Amino acid sequence: MQLLNKIRQKRWLVKEPGSQLSIERISSELNIDPILANLLVQRKITDFEQAKSFFRPSLDHLHDPFLMKDMDKAVNRLMLALKSGEKILVYGDYDVDGTTSVALVYSFISSFYPAVDYYIPDRYSEGYGISFQGIDYAFENNFSLIIALDCGIKSNDKVEYANTKGVDFIICDHHLPGEILPDASAVLDPKRLDCNYPFKELSGCGIGFKLVQAYCEKKHIAFSNLIQYLDLTAISIASDIVPIVGENRVLAHFGLEQLNKNPRPGILALLLKNNINRTLTITDVVFIIGPRINAAGRISSGKKAVEMLISKEKELAESTGLIIDANNIKRKELDKSITQQALEMISTDEDLINRKTTVLYHQDWHKGVIGIVASRLTETYYRPTILLAQSNGFATGSARSVKDFDVHNAIDKCSELLEQFGGHKYAAGLTIKLENIKAFSEKFEKIVDELIDEELLIPRIEIDAKLELSEISVKFMRILKQLAPFGPENMSPVFVSQGVVCKENTTRILKDLHLKINVFQPNNPSVSFAAIGFNMAEHENKMRSGEPFDICYSIEENHFMGEVTLQLHLKDLRY
């Protein structure tokens, strides 16, 4: 299918270089290329000590968990439950962040206390977050304390209901709170206005880890006992798209180390099933591990993901891992068919084509994958997008946004038409009555039209620096790799090289979609690099013309038959 806007011009924004004085100092102190020094300065690393902390993360850099508001209350309530023999229910959302959070806290408590269980709400019958059904389950099964992870910050009515049942809550959330906090025993959320915790961008699993860390400090349990859980924090950080800076960088670094050194049986089963036997990176977590864990909650039940993550028995972990992998295959099929259907709905409707937003509803769409499809449509049409599916007599949906536009704020301005909503600046979930969809669609379009700057509707590529191809070397790449783990606020550097030419007879098209070329600059023709551009096959004829063009790209290692070569991953090209 011909996708509209596919070859739309993108904005190339070359970042301002850092302070020349700082660049020279870092370059001299670390004995690195000024271009690499500039990358550090752009990331607010301006002296040797900061560089040391960045390149050599240390667990000593983790903050005191008791700096988080209500942490003392949370630990005291947990200790009371343990001392009194109360039944504890570890409750979490069905996505990667929620299931890894539950796996972490449940695994820790169950290692020394038997009266603990876990609960993942059903995406379809209960929906996102804390549910009345979940509270009833806790009450009917004599659980008197629920530890809610990656959810609950806006569940005031649910917590109030639990209080009437004699069920207490410790809430561990990282989403934006409402004006009034739930009346829980403790509410842990660095985004609370009255919370002075130094790092605001922890994942839900990260906050669960801080609770466990605080408990260990209070009970004088060595931190070394917590290393085994860091892989779960890394998976959540990568999959929930939180900034990989500060405390998240430390958790991601040591979590990846744990994931590579001693993967838990369920993760190992997933990797073996998909023939992955290399050192894992954040990218591998995002594209291989995360989607498969997510698929459990999307297609069957998030409980399967927790079961896989906590299992210590190889056979059980493997069988659960195979089920989850099968769920992911089903998820891919649904993703593809719904994406095609949604694109057709837009391309055949002149009004939808020309809008500044996309709001689509179909009663037969699978609720579990519409968030993924919303992301794809946002990439294609580059505008705030909401997809809705029918669920229990309502429409529930996922919203995705474009860079620098707060979709949560725009949805908030339509809240009178919604049953509930929540989320972040760039992603949100919502529930709406079926009869309100049309009115919501019109109001959302109106609000976005009023708020959005026109240039935000043009895809943007942020470029870290200009680079001559001759400046790329094995040493350059070795240092570049040490900037990892990459992610939000520390993205893999993007460079621009001007006036490159495609080597004769090197242009290839892969799977009718992707462009594979070999490029050089005429001022230094002996230096050339292979380059791949995904979904760039439309440039084939221009590449064969021999005319010069500009490219922006990231640099990556290509592993093939035991050999490692440097390759350019094209983001865009201009001629």
Identify which of 207, 168, 181, 163 has the alpha carbon closest to the alpha carbon of residue 76.
168
Q: What is the CATH number of the domain that holds 544?
A: 2.40.50.460
Q: Are residues 206 and 144 in the same domain?
A: yes
309-323 as b/e, with b when 16 or more CB fall inside 10 Å?
bbbeeeebbbbbbeb
User: 30 in a domain, yes or no?
Assistant: no
CB 195 within 8 A of CB 153: no
Q: What is residue 225's three-state secondary structure?
A: helix
Helix (H) or strand (E) holding 568: strand 563-574
User: 363 in a domain, yes or no?
Assistant: yes
pLDDT at 134: 98
Indicate the residue among 457, 478, 504 that finishes a domain. 457
pLDDT at 8: 58
User: 135 in a domain, yes or no?
Assistant: yes
pLDDT at 316: 85
pLDDT tens per residue across span 196-250:
999 999 999 999 999 999 999 999 999 999 999 999 999 999 998 899 999 999 9
User: 510 in a domain, yes or no?
Assistant: yes
pLDDT tens per residue across span 295-340:
988 888 899 999 999 998 888 888 888 889 898 999 999 999 999 9
User: 246 in a domain, yes or no?
Assistant: no
DSSP alpha helices (H): ranges in 262-369? 265-273, 282-284, 290-299, 302-310, 314-347, 350-353
Q: Are residues 91 and 196 in the same domain?
A: yes
Q: Are residues 431 and 547 in the same domain?
A: no
Q: Are residues 438 and 535 in the same domain?
A: no
Phi and psi at residue 359, to the nearest 5°: -130, 115
pLDDT at 229: 98
Q: Are residues 83 and 196 in the same domain?
A: yes
Q: Are residues 85 and 212 in the same domain?
A: yes
Q: What is the CATH number of the domain that holds 195?
A: 3.90.1640.30
Indicate the residue among 432, 457, 482 that finishes a domain. 457
- Write the burial class of residue 74 (CB in 10 Å: 0-12 exposed, 13-18 middle, 19+ buried): buried
Phi and psi at residue 512, to the nearest 5°: 65, 10
Report the number of secondary-structure helices (H) and strands (E) in the chain: 21, 19
pLDDT at 559: 81
Q: Are residues 521 and 497 in the same domain?
A: yes
pLDDT at 315: 87
User: 480 in a domain, yes or no?
Assistant: yes
Identify which of 484, 463, 483, 481 has the alpha carbon closest to the alpha carbon of residue 472.
481
The residue type of 363 is Q
CB 488 within 8 A of CB 243: yes
Indicate if the alpha-carbon torsion angle 401, 326, 345, 391 is positive or negative. Answer: negative
User: Could you give the number of structural domains in the chain?
Assistant: 3
111-142 as b/e, with b when 16 or more CB fall inside 10 Å?
eeeeebbbbbbbbeebbbbbbeebbebbbeee
Q: Are residues 478 and 425 in the same domain?
A: no
Identify which of 157, 179, 182 has the alpha carbon closest to the alpha carbon of residue 171.
182
Low-confidence ranges of the chain (pLDDT < 70): 1-8
Give one DSSP letter per residue of 163-195, joined into a string.
HHTT-EEEEE--SPP-SS----SEEE-TTSTT-
pLDDT at 126: 87
pLDDT tens per residue across span 141-196:
999 999 999 999 999 999 999 999 999 999 999 998 999 999 999 999 999 999 99
Q: Are residues 453 and 467 in the same domain?
A: no
Q: What is the CATH number of the domain that holds 360?
A: 3.10.310.30
Residue in the block written with tokens 């055949």: 348
Identify which of 157, 125, 148, 124 has the alpha carbon closest to the alpha carbon of residue 420.
157
User: 441 in a domain, yes or no?
Assistant: yes
Q: Are residues 140 and 93 in the same domain?
A: yes
Q: Are residues 401 and 468 in the same domain?
A: no
Domain range enclosing 181: 65-222
- Write the burial class of residue 332 (CB in 10 Å: 0-12 exposed, 13-18 middle, 19+ buried): middle
Vertex 215 angle, CA 268 and 313, to 5°: 25
Q: Are residues 184 and 166 in the same domain?
A: yes
Phi and psi at residue 270, to the nearest 5°: -65, -45
User: 303 in a domain, yes or no?
Assistant: no
Indicate the residue among 457, 477, 496 that finishes a domain. 457
Helix (H) or strand (E) holding 233: helix 230-239
